[in-house]
Chain A
Amino acid sequence: DTGVSQNPRHKITKRGQNVTFRCDPISEHNRLYWYRQTLGQGPEFLTYFQNEAQLEKSRLLSDRFSAERPKGSFSTLEIQRTEQGDSAMYLCASSLFMRDTEAFFGQGTRLTVV
């Protein structure tokens, strides 16, 4: 297993278009997190799943954002009707939520909305 994988690495889209990002966690990990990071800031929490259940969503996750984790494996994050303020790095992390809750992050998807 090579770790958490995110695709695409970079995405440039026009304002108003929809975009979808994918995250493949480490295979045995049951928790999956999405974070967003803008320039010069620390990552901000968006949402997380335990297996296929979405347990928490941040107020940052407006109704234009939706995330899924069918079958508790990979996850997708969709942004509808993108706005320039959505330009950011989108980070995914996974962990095995038992006694050891160490999280591992993917390389991120950098979104630019023009």
Chain B
Amino acid sequence: GIQVEQSPPDLILQEGANSTLRCNFSDSVNNLQWFHQNPWGQLINLFYIPSGTKQNGRLSATTVATERYSLLYISSSQTTDSGVYFCAVLPYGQNFVFGPGTRLSVLP
């Protein structure tokens, strides 16, 4: 089946710093989503981005489907950005497959 990798596995930043999270996937996909998992465990939708670039406030994402990767950019990070960020892909005709996540800690 499809493999999903995320890097880095852990990231520690000072408040105000910028960061880039990466998601690589091994096969063509119909959908790619980025999620932030809050401290209570709920997965919060950040971006639905099977291809192209989107921006939402301090966050933006780019997916290059032909090269099978996606990037999540966080600018001017805040302590509330801390948590685990997951990339999930939907291969054609199959179920969502999650990456292992990137654990982000933003220090005040």
A63 at the interface (CB under 8 A from B): no
Tell me whether A102 and B48 are in contact (CB under 8 A): yes
Chain A residues with Cβ under 8 A from B88's Cβ? 43, 103
B90 at the interface (CB under 8 A from A): yes
Q: A residues touching B (Cβ–Cβ < 8 Å)?
A: 33, 35, 37, 41-45, 48, 56, 89, 91, 93, 100-108, 110
Ordered by A's residue number, 13 sampled pairs between the chains whose C-beta atoms are within 8 Å are A33-B96, A37-B41, A41-B100, A42-B86, A42-B99, A43-B43, A48-B95, A56-B95, A103-B90, A105-B35, A105-B42, A105-B43, A107-B42
- B: interface residue count bin: 20 to 34
Tell me whether A45 and B97 are in contact (CB under 8 A): yes
Q: B residues touching A (Cβ–Cβ < 8 Å)?
A: 30-31, 33, 35, 40-43, 45, 48, 86, 88, 90, 94-101
Chain B residues with Cβ under 8 A from A107's Cβ? 40-42
